[in-house]
């Protein structure tokens, strides 16, 4: 399994976000493999760019680009009063979350700005206007059934044959976390279009076979 340079790994660890290093290394290996297809690597759910660093560096090495899709207003569990709320990413002028400035600083510090296309918008709307195939789709957006289902239905069909669908926060046991990502993971397997490649913590890597 390929690994990022110490500099890239340090940038990943320094960035705001929730992905553990082990899962990050698995994501990087998947991105590097998918990059061989020469197609863009896309992530749904950017937050402040922690995982984007890994996708962008893999895309840079493969001569392709990373695309991130996020409205940058935070998911449900990141709103005020919820477990993952961070008041430092609230826009003081309008009083709502805005992770976009932090995300842009994250990329700049890592020297990866030119390898990322940041799309600011809601996943279902962006998916409707996206025309091309993708080497990798990383689903890490909202964790309600509505959002996870929209992300799966909008983006899984865009994964090229041989490409990878990566789903984060998959918890088979409800005691460990929400079930929406687990349900779309099962749906992908049951579709017959994907086969499991690897399991690392809550990260699942699936390859498109059909």
Name residue, tokens 């922690």. Answer: 50
Quote the tokens at residue 118.
């940041």
DSSP characters over 131-143: -S-EEEEEE-S--
CA max distance for the chain? 48
Burial of 105 (0-12, 13-18, 19+ CB in 10 A): middle
Is the separation of the CB atoms in 29 and 87 below 8 Å?
A: no
What's the chain's Rg over C-alpha atoms? 16
Among 71, 72, 115, 143, the one annotated catalytic: 143
- Is 143 part of the annotated catalytic residue set? yes
What gap in Å lies between CA 73 and CA 99, rounded to an integer? 7
Catalytic residues: 143
């Amino acid at each position: 399994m390929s690994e990022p340079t110490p500099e890239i790994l340090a940038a990943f660890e320094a960035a705001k976000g929730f992905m553990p290093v082990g899962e990050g290394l698995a994501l990087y290996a998947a991105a590097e493999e998918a990059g061989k297809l020469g197609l863009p690597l896309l992530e749904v759910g950017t937050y402040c760019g922690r995982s984007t660093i890994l996708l962008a560096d893999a895309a840079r090495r493969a001569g392709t680009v990373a695309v991130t899709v996020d409205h940058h207003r935070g998911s449900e569990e990141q709103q005020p009063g919820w477990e993952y709320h961070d008041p430092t990413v609230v826009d003081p002028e309008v009083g709502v979350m805005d992770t976009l400035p932090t995300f842009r600083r994250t990329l700049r510090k890592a020297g990866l700005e030119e390898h990322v296309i940041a799309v600011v918008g809601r996943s279902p709307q962006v998916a409707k206007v996206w025309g091309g195939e993708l080497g990798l789709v990383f689903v890490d957006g909202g964790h309600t059934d509505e959002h996870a289902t929209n992300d799966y239905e909008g983006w899984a069909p865009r994964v090229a044959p041989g490409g990878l669908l990566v789903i984060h926060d998959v918890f088979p046991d409800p005691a460990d976390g929400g079930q929406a990502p687990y349900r779309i993971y099962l749906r992908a397997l049951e579709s017959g279009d994907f086969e499991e490649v690897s399991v690392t913590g809550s990260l699942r890597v699936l390859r498109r076979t059909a």
